[in-house]
Structure 1
Amino acid sequence: MDDFLTPVSTIRITDKKEAEPTLVSSQAKASTTPSGRSTPASPEDALDILKQQPSYNELITSLRFLSRHHSDNEVPSIKLPSPISAQLVQVLVSEIVTNHWILLKEDAGDSKNSGFRLLLYCLSSVTGINAILVRLRGLIQEHKAETEGPGKLKRPDIHLNLETLLDLLENLLKGGGWILEAWQTAKASNGSDAVTSAMRMRPRVQEMLSLFGGGKIVSLAAEAESIVKANKTAKDNNCEVWVADAQQYTMWLGRNIATWQLSDAALDSPKFVSDLFSKGLKLGHADALIKHVLGELVLKKGADPSRFGLLLSNLPPTEQRKVLFSILKLFSSRYLDHLGHCDSADSKPIVAAVAEALRSIIGESGSLKNYLVEWLTSSSGAGLGEGVGIRRAVLAVVSQSRDAIVTVLEKSLCQFGDQLYIKHSPMLQQEAHAEVLLLSAGYVNRLSPVKLALMMRTSVWLNAISNRLAAPHQKARLLGMWVGEALSNSVDKGDKRLNFNTEEEFEEMATRYKSLTQVSDEIGIMEHLFESPPLALSKKKTDSLKAHQAAQAASRPPSQPPQTGFIIEELSDEEGPEEDDLVPYAKPDSDEEDSDDDPALIRRDKPKAPVYIRDLIRYLHDTDNYDLQKLALTIAPSLIRRKAKYGTEVKEHADELAGLLIGLSDKFDMENFDDLRLQGMMALVIAQPKIMGPWFAKTFFDGDYSISQRASVLIVLGLSSREFAGFEASTYSTVAAFPSKTLPERVEKLYLPQNSSLYPTPSSTSLKPLPPNALDGIAHSITDSFLAPMAAEAADTATGPNSLKLSTFTSRLNNPEKVRHITRTKPRIRSIPNIIAGLLSSFFFTPLISRFQAALHSSSSKTRGILFNPYLLSLYLKTLALIIHASGPSTLSLPQMTAEFWRLLLNTSVRAQAVGNLQLTQAILFGFMALLDVNEDRMRDLCQEIGGELIEAKDWAAGVFGNLRGGDEGGEEEQVKMLAAGVLVRMGEGIEKWQLVLVGELIGF
């Protein structure tokens, strides 16, 4: 084999002293080893050796010398800032790493004396990181200059050097104590004089803050990574550079902050790490940073939460408030949301443990306690959309101070009865504040019953109940009734107690609210937080499943042991006449499994269809098996619907199943993948609307999903609301029927045509996949039905506006032959039962719009990025419009839904996003159209309740109509203009008819 390898050239690196003996000075000769290799005696000698292209042995010798550090300063540390150390680091980064990195990595090992470890030690300083970043920036600029200029690249090795530097930076920053070590090194070089040390330390601290907290490392590393990946094939691009990922870098920063805070340096210089933590919150992953630091300093056995409190107390006031509110949200989502709204014995230890964690973090800080009071009483606080558990935990902490809990009660009562608050606040927000009011009233009643009794004799209490009972919205009135009864039962006696005789439909909810005054949580121990609640829940589910399987196994008869050998049985011919009634199965025309001639290719291990929900979850978890994924997606809609009313399988596993379906990706490019996934999620919503409606709404805003996955959530809610209202009928609803509810085949033929069946199979051709724009198609059909009567009237009225004449409307409706036959009176929207309408209002519409209102006031860039994505925002508005349209005019909460959605459509931020965006403009107009359609018989009430908003919406629609040219028949701009014209005409008719009612509203408008 050696004959096949012919060396092209041979290069031998010799020592300088052997090649040029006449040029070696006497000083160099004095510092040579017996073997003739150079041995540096000072940092200057090491610098000379490194500059002259040293051999690998000379490099190791120099690195070993530079790694030594003596306290007598004869050999100063290379980590200390000095002119000579800066030159050494520069040479190591620009020359040594470029030429020897591969050899050094091969020499990497556990030994501290390996060349790789010695190099990392010499560069593990702020000076070393800065040198690497300067080198990266220079190579990036050189790459840009050469690619943008004429000609080919002059340096084709730039991407190789960038890859080497990124690898070096990754290995250099590994570990959680890097920043602490760098700070201790910088502090050790300042001397013993306190004044001089402080003066020297200040600029170094600022340099470290700007370096590690300013995002410089992430930005340069990400830019360099993009250049490296552009010069690699797709096969080689699998490895990710964690330094270039902002989220992973934030986690690294969190580990370093936690290590610092646990050390003695946190007590000596607490301001530095707080400033670093504050800068880290601005890197774009504040929640991840807070979660990691909190987990290391608080949610770990043996942790000292006061260390986190010390870190929090040194932050600026605005940052303290932001971090504290994020901690409350984290505690709620991780520990308390699954508790629900009950005051069970199982919930008290968890709530007490969270309260203890909060108390330990806050300590004696008065400002942090005030932030808790603000969180409970602010117009956008109290944990919107979260369970009552977090409010119980916060009030348990606040109740330790009598003045603080009384302040919460007084502010909550004033806010609860404010007319503007009742009229404009989302109902989900009002429910949260009602819970705070009742819980705080219970604490005040136990601490000082006289205080609560006197408060209920004031005008504030009387006005609050009066304003609530006079509210136009049903849920606002109900809250006033429940709060009034609960507090009256706590103070009054006998016949003086209020009793509004709540309807039976709301009895369960009323009982839950009134029981909150009896809830009393105490400060407990934190051991319950060290185990994640979801694990405990899954364990309970597993135990119940095992018990169920054991019961089934016990009920089944014991199986017979298998018999070995052949069994020959002789059948008698006497049973022949009885076999005449047996009709043999027809032979199938073809069988895909047996279509291949080779029996070895026939599959005999095809999976069976899942029968239980847990089997369906197991199939969906196996993302590498095509057969299981395909079978699970095909069976999921019918299986979920079939199990909805039989047992508790769907209810127990709804959250997990929904999370799997949302996050499922089309790995195998399946046919109708999106349709099957949407049908599965719709089946969950239909099966458990009270659970899955709020869950999907929360997932849309808080979940870590892509734009397409969030869009699928909105589509599911919109289509499910249409199915609840009876506008759409899913064939899976008949497939899900149990066989016991079907007619026998012979009887079915007597009542049904020959080629029809009430119970088609999932593979039936009647099941058509959902189009990608399912909601858009429904919106177009509703728009056509809205504009059709006006088109017919315009056809008979020659004096109407040009935009409403027959020629324009027929081009919009694409049906010129039938427009003249459309009746002038539009068919009324069907009325659905109040139970379904209330379901859509409480569990579909309210969670979606309330979380949007809360997200508008959020400072999170991620949340605002989701809200103001044009596609998601337009789909979100259409979904709300479809839910209102599906609720119909018989909805008891229609006035409240109309007011909330109308103000959302007129929101300044929403309309600003619609400027120049036809898709979003059309969604806003469609929202107004749906509201006008549902409130067709309530125009007088609209003019009386939201007269100012009605005039503002009319002016905005007129501006949209005037700014669009139209003319492109069937084009998007023409469609938007026609929709604006229809909305404008309908609003104008209502305003003209009820203009006298608007006089009071328009005063001062």
Structure 2
Amino acid sequence: MELKVYLEELKKGPANILELLGYLGAYQKDAERLQIASTLINHTLSVYKLADEEVRRVICDLLCCRVGLGQLVLQCKRKLDGNVAQALADTVSAPRFKQILTNVQHSELSELRSLLTVRVYEELNRAATELRSDELREAADRYPKCLLDLALSSSVADWRFVNGCLRMHAVDPFEKTVYTRLVAKFNDKNDMAFLKRLLGLIESAIQDSNVAGYNKLIGELEIHDWPTAVSFVVNSPLELQKVVVGRLQADESLVQRYISLFSLKSYIQQTSFSEHERLTRLLLLLLRKLNDTQIKDISTQGEFLDAISNHLESNSPKVRFFGMVVGDLIYERLNKKPMFDIEEHNREREIFMNKITKPIPDCTLEEAFSIIRSKEQTIERQFTETKIIKPAPVVIDSDPEDSDDETVPRKRTVPTPVYLKEVISYLQADSQKDQLAYEKHEILYKVLAPLVRTKANSQELHFYSEALLDLVLSLPNSYKLADFESWRLSCCIAICVGDFEQAAAFLIKSFFSGDISLNRRILILSCLSLSAREKAGLNDEFVAGKETVPGLGPQRLPENIHRQFIQYEEQQKPELKSITEQMDTLKLTGTVTRISSRLTKKKPTKTKDTRFINNELPKMYFLLVSTWQYVNSKTGSGFVIGHYSPILNSHFLRTLALILDCAIPSSIQVLDMVRELVLILAEHMKQLVVQYEEIVLEAVLAGLRTAVQCDNSLLRQLVGPELIAMRDYLEILLANGVLNETTIQNCGHIVSEINRIASPFA
């Protein structure tokens, strides 16, 4: 019998349901499992709690796969009830769940990691809370440790999977058996993301009374990249810095790196006292590891001398102390006496250095686990964390410009910038140092985009475009200006349109390699697509910043120079008059009998710039496509950033569709562009069948609507099989009943279009 027949029988609720369910276990393909899971969820789970134990076991076995769990989670999100929630809890508690990481393809691992470490755990906790079920709560509490145990036992689960398990707060990595297995995995293959998370957990708990335990536990790790490990504790408590640096071998280059940071005037001026103190302590710990020869080398370097002098120039006694104590350590190692021999300073230095030089007690591994579990230390830590610190009083310096005296004039206006170099200085204005910073930002808010548009395709904009984009993208809305993000986007579009090739390359590089937020990445994608549309000749009226602002055009020369040009023009008039008189003698006579229609007909305006869409547009498009393909080859499901993955993936796919729309039908590379987009959409559609996300499906449909604008016969030759596969996937989604009304209509339209295009293959 075919699967369809079995499922139809199952929908009727037969008496021999156990036998029927047994037949379904033979179907292993994703599409088949999807149909089985949908039928079970929609028709069988409504009586799940009433079924006998054996039937429930077989149902859980059928749902215990990537597709089945995905459908259970989706059903919980749509409509949470006791039967579905209990089925989910039983499925992840069943013996078969221990095999879920066996025979997993690399392309499926990323999706499975997101499903098991985030979505399943969330729904279990939500069900336990909303349904107030003790049984569900127990299942939710057991699940994280069970999943971590599976991950550590599996040869398939990588460090990203293990780290995903550790992010579930119910998992305690310092439980003895768990930590022993984590250490073994880390020593086999170092993972710095795991180490960073481990040190972060220690940072919130470490103190003087338990530092010996954590020191022993960290000592079990065979860390290969110590400079990176040290970078994780730059802003950590002293106890954790001592633990990490204590395991480090002498490294002069590492010390030089932190002295370079310590010597910067900008760091000294802009860093808080607490952060500055932590860097000072870390630097002292690193310096103590060096031998006398290395100390002598450090003492002769200009950066060390700058570090001491720049600290001594500070008005803050505390900052001066940080510089003096570093200078004292190096000078004392070389000359057996401190550099600054002042009684009060000596007392402060002794207290400061005693904490740094205090040795960490030794203990056994068994004692280490006992020390960090001590109840007394937990109580003490909680007391320390809840202690209220009284803020220091604010002292306001007397300044004539801050006076209330009305006779003191206040200049609160700034000139409108004319050159982009001025714009950059305005963007860099800091309210802490520049009293007119607000006014400078306010004037840029009004004129930046229109001003940049007056510089389009100029050498000036080409020189400053990257710096402008960098500043605009990173600029915070410190003054709470209205519609700030819209202004930011309009400025980026103006820069990109005026210097497209260089600006687009910079934005793409920032998107993939920059340490920026999700909102910034989406803004970059919006900028690329809207800039491409404007360059291609399509006018989007909703894009701000296109209006002309008075005074931003070419500027008149200063009056004295202007008069000189007028005087020169007056001198030239007699000569021009004589030339004109000579031309009058060459008057032509005759009658015009015919005028070409080409001179009278108004030429139609071009809707698209073919030079742009044949050259610069395909370059950007294929760069985005190749990057997507690289990311997808690693993850199997596009960009993976947790909960926000669907948002970024959908926006990226829409960006590709918008750029492709600029190329249709005029670009000479349009067929290659269409083929690449359809291949991407077909691969992603396959993922949607298993893990449905509405906003991603809408983006896929938007891409298909753009692609099917091409000639039908060419589409059949290029991507006929892919279109048929997507039609089949859409029909599965339509049959599952997971789509809303609008999406159903859009899917139906695309299915009919594909049927019309690919009819010879049907």
* Greater relative contact order (CA < 8 Å, ≥ 6 in sequence): 2
- Tell me which interval the TM-score lies in, with the shorter structure as reference length: 0.3 to 0.5
The alignment's TM-score, normalised by the length of structure 2, stands at 0.40
Bigger Rg, which one = 1
